[in-house]
């Protein structure tokens, strides 16, 4: 079954089209890196998939038209890890992760034992139990990022959209964070779509790379097919060397 199906998806913000006529199918269990220069429309496309912006065209999730899902059903199918998540400093990690259960609850409902178990499990998967009662305001950037991912895991949505999940992390935390996501993908059967700026990390972790430019998908394929020196020069205006290290690609910026 397809996890995500997009057909002629167009999003207009402030009069201009930010995402134009995007048609893509993502299989269940795929890890897709969404790359592209600043302003290419990556964040907006992720929001369209999650139903957070008005869009034209059709979005289907897990084989069902998204238009037929209500908000909570949609949020049970798709979890979002935003680029700069709001993390109120007074909330504890446990309380924050438990909020991932919101789409499973009515507006007046309280969390059941099952909801608490789901949150406890997410804490465990991200090795956050020792921090469960710590306030978010006291965490380091890497710990906070893990808490945000844990919230998405507690949501128990099989599609997870991540907007620059590693932007705020150092190189070690970037790798650990992506390894963790890769492990969760296998373990939980997740479909991951991640907007990424770091092309080497995209090449190393993703099965498939979508290159967006000017609101359109201009290249789609395995990392080696999309990440070529010519394509990156054309769409990023960048001079790079694409090299192979230990059978995986690395993209190196070079000086003209």
Partner 1 sequence: MEAAAAPARAIRVRGVTPGWAAAALAFLGAALVTGVVAGPVDIGVGDVLRSLGDKLGVPGVTSPLDATQESILWDLRVPRVLLAALVGGMLAVAGATYQGVFSNPLADPYLLGVAAGAGLGATLAIAYLPHALAGRQVLPFAAFAGAAVAVALAYGIGRAAGRERDSATLVLAGVTVASFFTALQTFVQQQNTDTLQEVTSWILGSLPNTGWSDVAVLAPYVLGATAVIVALRRTVDVLSLGDLEAASLGVDVRRTRLALVVAATVGTAAAVAVSGLIAFVGIIVPHAIRLVVGTSYRGLLPLSFVCGAGFLILADVVARTALAPAEVPIGVITALFGAPFFALVLRARGSRA
8 binds partner 1 (CB under 8 A): no
Stretch of 1-9, 28-36, 107-115, 197-205 contacting partner 1, by CB under 8 A = 107-115
191 binds partner 1 (CB under 8 A): no
216 binds partner 1 (CB under 8 A): no
Q: What is the DSSP string of 130-189?
A: GGTTSBGGGS-HHHHHHHHHHHHHHTT-SEEEEESTTTTS-HHHHHHHHHHHHHHHHHHT
In the DSSP assignment, the letter for residue 114 is H
42 binds partner 1 (CB under 8 A): no
74 binds partner 1 (CB under 8 A): yes
103 binds partner 1 (CB under 8 A): yes
Phi/psi of residue 83, nearest 5 degrees: -65, -45
Binder of partner 1 out of 25, 27, 63, 124 (CB under 8 A):
124
86 binds partner 1 (CB under 8 A): yes
- For partner 1, the closer of residues 13 and 243 by Cβ is 13
Q: Which of 166, 183, 58, 75 is nearest to 127 (CA)?
A: 183
Q: Is 41 left (phi over 0), alpha (psi -120 to 50) or beta?
A: left
Q: Are 74 and 81 in contact, with CB atoms under 8 Å apart?
A: no
| Rounded-to-integer distance, Cα 170 and Cα 207, Å | 23
What residue ranges bind partner 1 (CB under 8 A)? 13, 47, 50-52, 71-76, 78-80, 82, 85-86, 88, 90-92, 94-95, 97-100, 102-103, 105, 107-111, 116-117, 119-121, 123-124, 129, 132-133, 135, 155
């Amino acid at each position: 079954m397809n996890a995500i199906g997009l057909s002629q998806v167009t999003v207009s913000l402030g009069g201009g089209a930010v995402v134009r006529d995007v048609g893509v199918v993502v299989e269940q269990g795929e890890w897709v890196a969404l790359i592209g220069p600043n302003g290419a429309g990556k964040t907006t496309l992720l929001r369209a998939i999650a139903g957070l912006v008005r869009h034209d065209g059709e979005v289907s999730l897990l084989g069902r038209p998204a238009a037929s899902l209500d908000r909570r059903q949609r949020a049970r199918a798709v979890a979002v890890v935003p680029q700069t998540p709001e993390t109120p400093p007074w909330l504890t990690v446990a309380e924050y992760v438990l909020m991932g259960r919101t789409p499973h609850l009515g507006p007046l409902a309280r969390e059941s034992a099952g909801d608490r178990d789901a949150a406890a499990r997410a804490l465990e998967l991200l090795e956050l139990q020792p921090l469960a009662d710590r306030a978010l305001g006291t965490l380091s950037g890497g710990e906070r990022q893990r808490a945000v991912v844990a919230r998405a895991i507690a949501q128990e949505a099989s599609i997870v959209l991540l907007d620059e999940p590693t932007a705020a992390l150092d190189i070690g935390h970037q790798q650990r964070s992506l390894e963790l996501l890769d492990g969760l993908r296998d373990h939980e059967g997740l479909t991951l779509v991640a907007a990424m700026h770091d092309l080497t990390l995209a090449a190393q972790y993703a099965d498939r790379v979508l290159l967006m430019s000017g609101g359109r998908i201009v290249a789609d394929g395995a990392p080696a097919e999309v990440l070529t020196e010519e394509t990156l020069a054309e769409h990023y205006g960048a001079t790079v060397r694409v090299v192979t290290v230990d059978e995986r690609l690395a993209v190196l910026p070079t000086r003209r």
